[in-house]
């Protein structure tokens, strides 16, 4: 568990970790650098994440961090999920978002909202071998998350689902989908219902895979539902209460996106520091020039500030305290820092930073999504402002 800010009684500063979390972080860092690192460029170019690396993430316990041991998981903490996402993003933000969606969106929702039979049926699979996906977005439902057109018709012992989902992360690899549809469009958000949909179900298909600017190795696909029959026992929570599942899960997920963006920024800073020490101009390393030193100092300060916001939001959530404003701040600020830090890193590399031969070009592309998914920057600003003003 992360400790609060330092004081005379010896409590660790916020960004320092207790022994258990420190060892956990070191394990993920080693795995990311040694196992994922050598394949990052090839996976980005191919737009595919290696299956053997996903298998290794399962073996390491990264896909079921918070799942209790009785269901085959690691019995870890929310903060450890955030640490894992951050450390993976230092090396490859695509790997980070795969682990993020699995843990902070799907596993979290499964543990909180499913019944015991559903947990025993699915959690062991999610911890051991089944990638999961969170299917909310549609063509007309982005920031207006509950303008869903996907329809779920009550047919007695089952629901019949029809519609299309867009921009669904992990869809190409997923075996289980946490999918949102409306049972009554006229009821607005009160009609939203959450379903467990397995890959291979009749009437369900994974469609077009998007060709993206960044995080290219992370799959983003369309889902097609054509008279897809979902048994009533696969409804998550109550019919018509899916909006609450979506809102509360996304609020937590935004902390992990903040961690992903912080890790990305740290990766860009690491590359910039190393290159500045190596690159020589006018007879000395560019790190000896005050202009470059000031750039690096500002980058480092922003990355640390981003980390503090993310860790604080994670600490609040883990402690059962209100965290909505802090999560929005963390996601909003970290996404800005990732974009500006990656851009500055490209500039420190100069001309070669603009080529694919060096890693900062990829991180610059990867950073853009941070201001868009799991709530755009404008939506985060709205949330922060409303909370400050006491508005609902």
The pLDDT assigned to 299 comes to 98
Average pLDDT (136-162) is: 91
Provide mean pLDDT across the span 117-122.
98
Q: Catalytic site residue 233? A: no
Architecture of the 244-389 domain: Up-down Bundle (1.20)
How does residue 102 score in pLDDT terms, banded at 50, 70 and 90? very high
| Integer Rg of the chain from CA | 21
Q: How far is residue 299's CA from residue 45's CA, in Å, rounded to a whole number?
A: 28
pLDDT of the residue at 347: 98
Name every residue whose Cβ is closer than 8 Å to that of residue 84 and which is 6 or more positions away in sequence.
24, 28, 62, 65, 99, 103
Distance of CA 70 to the CA centre of its chain: 25
Look at residue 13 in the predicted model and tell me its pLDDT.
58
pLDDT, residue 210, reads 97
Question: What is residue 223's three-state secondary structure?
Answer: strand
Query: What per-residue confidence (pLDDT) applies to 8?
Result: 35
Q: Residue 17 to residues 2, 5, 122: CA-CA distances in angstroms?
A: 5, 11, 32
51-59 helix and 93-100 helix, angle to the nearest 10 degrees: 50
With a pLDDT cut of 90, the percent of the chain lying above it is 92
- The overall average pLDDT reported for the chain is 95
d(CA 16, CA 13): 5
Query: HSE of 316 in the Cβ direction (CA atoms, 13 Å)?
Result: 17
Question: pLDDT value at position 10?
Answer: 41
Is the predicted pLDDT of residue 237 greater than 60, yes or no?
yes
The predicted-structure confidence for 340-352, as pLDDT tens digits, reads as follows: 999 999 999 999 9
> CATH homologous superfamily for 133-241?
Butyryl-CoA Dehydrogenase, subunit A, domain 2 (2.40.110.10)
CB-based burial of residue 101 (10 Å sphere; 0-12 exposed, 13-18 middle, 19+ buried)? buried
pLDDT tens figures, 337-389: 999 999 999 999 999 999 999 999 999 999 999 999 999 999 999 999 999 99
pLDDT at residue 271, as a whole number: 98
- List the domain boundaries for the chain: 19-131, 133-241, 244-389
10 Å CB burial of residue 224 (0-12, 13-18, 19+) is middle
Instruction: Decide if domain 19-131 falls under CATH 3.40.50.300.
Output: no
CB atoms closer than 10 angstroms to residue 279: 15
- Token couple for 9: 């009684």
| Active-site residue (options: 222, 295, 326, 374) | 374
Backbone angles phi, psi at 215, to 5 degrees: 35, 50
pLDDT, residue 141, reads: 85
Query: In terms of DSSP bridges, do strands 204-209 and 280-281 run parallel, antiparallel, or are they unpaired?
Result: unpaired
Question: What's the length of the chain?
Answer: 392
Question: What is the mean predicted confidence (pLDDT) over 322-345?
Answer: 98
Question: Residue 143: pLDDT band by 50, 70, 90 thresholds?
Answer: confident
State the pLDDT confidence band at 14, using cuts at 50, 70 and 90: low
Please tell me the distance from the alpha carbon of residue 101 to that of residue 107, in angstroms, as a whole number.
Answer: 8
Alpha-helical regions (H) of 212-289: 242-278
Which whole number is the average pLDDT over 153-170?
97
Give me the pLDDT at residue 147, please. 85
**Residue 380 pLDDT:** 97
Distance of CA 56 to the CA centre of its chain: 19
**In this prediction, what percent of the chain has a pLDDT beyond 70?**
96
- The pTM assigned to this predicted structure is 0.94
- The pLDDT value given to residue 219: 98
- The end-to-end CA distance of the chain, in Å, is 32
Q: By the 8 A CB rule, do 135 and 178 touch? A: yes
List, for residues 281-319, the tens digit of each pLDDT value.
Answer: 999 999 999 999 999 999 999 999 999 999 999 999 999
């Amino acid at each position: 568990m992360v400790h609060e800010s330092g004081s005379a009684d010896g409590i660790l500063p916020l960004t320092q970790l207790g022994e258990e979390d420190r060892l956990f972080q070191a394990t993920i860092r080693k795995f990311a650098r040694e196992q994922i690192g050598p394949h990052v460029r090839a996976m980005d170019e191919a737009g595919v994440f290696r299956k053997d690396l996903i298998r290794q993430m399962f073996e390491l316990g990264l896909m079921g961090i918070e799942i209790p041991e009785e269901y085959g998981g690691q019995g870890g903490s929310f903060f450890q999920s955030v640490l894992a996402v951050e450390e993976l993003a230092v090396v490859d933000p695509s790997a980070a978002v795969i682990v993020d969606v699995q843990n902070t969106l799907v596993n979290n929702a499964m543990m909180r909202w499913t019944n015991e039979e559903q947990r025993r049926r699915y959690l062991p699979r999610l911890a051991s071998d089944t990638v999961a996906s969170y299917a909310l977005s549609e063509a007309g439902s982005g920031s207006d998350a509950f303008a869903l057109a996907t329809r779920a018709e009550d047919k007695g012992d089952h629901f019949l689902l029809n519609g299309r989902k867009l921009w669904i992360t992990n869809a190409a690899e997923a075996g289980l989908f946490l999918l949102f549809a409306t049972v009554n469009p006229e009821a607005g958000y009160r009609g939203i219902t959450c379903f467990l949909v397995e890959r291979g179900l009749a009437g369900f298909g994974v469609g077009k895979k998007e060709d993206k600017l960044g995080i290219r190795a992370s799959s983003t696909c369309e889902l097609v539902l054509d008279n897809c029959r979902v048994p009533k026992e696969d409804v998550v929570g109550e019919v018509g209460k899916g909006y609450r599942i979506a809102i509360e899960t996304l609020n937590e997920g935004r902390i992990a996106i903040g961690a992903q963006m912080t890790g990305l920024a740290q990766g860009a800073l690491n590359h910039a520091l190393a290159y500045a020490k190596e690159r020589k101009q006018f007879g000395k390393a560019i790190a000896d020039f005050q202009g470059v030193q000031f750039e690096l100092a500002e980058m480092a300060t922003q990355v640390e500030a981003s980390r503090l916001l993310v860790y604080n939001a994670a600490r609040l959530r883990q402690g059962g305290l209100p965290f909505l404003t802090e999560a929005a701040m963390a996601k909003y600020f970290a996404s800005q820092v990732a974009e500006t830090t990656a851009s500055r890193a490209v500039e420190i590399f100069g001309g070669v930073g603009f080529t694919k031969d060096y890693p900062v070009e990829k991180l610059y592309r990867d950073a853009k999504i941070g201001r868009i998914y799991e709530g755009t920057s404008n939506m985060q600003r709205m949330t922060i402002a409303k909370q400050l003003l006491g508005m609902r």
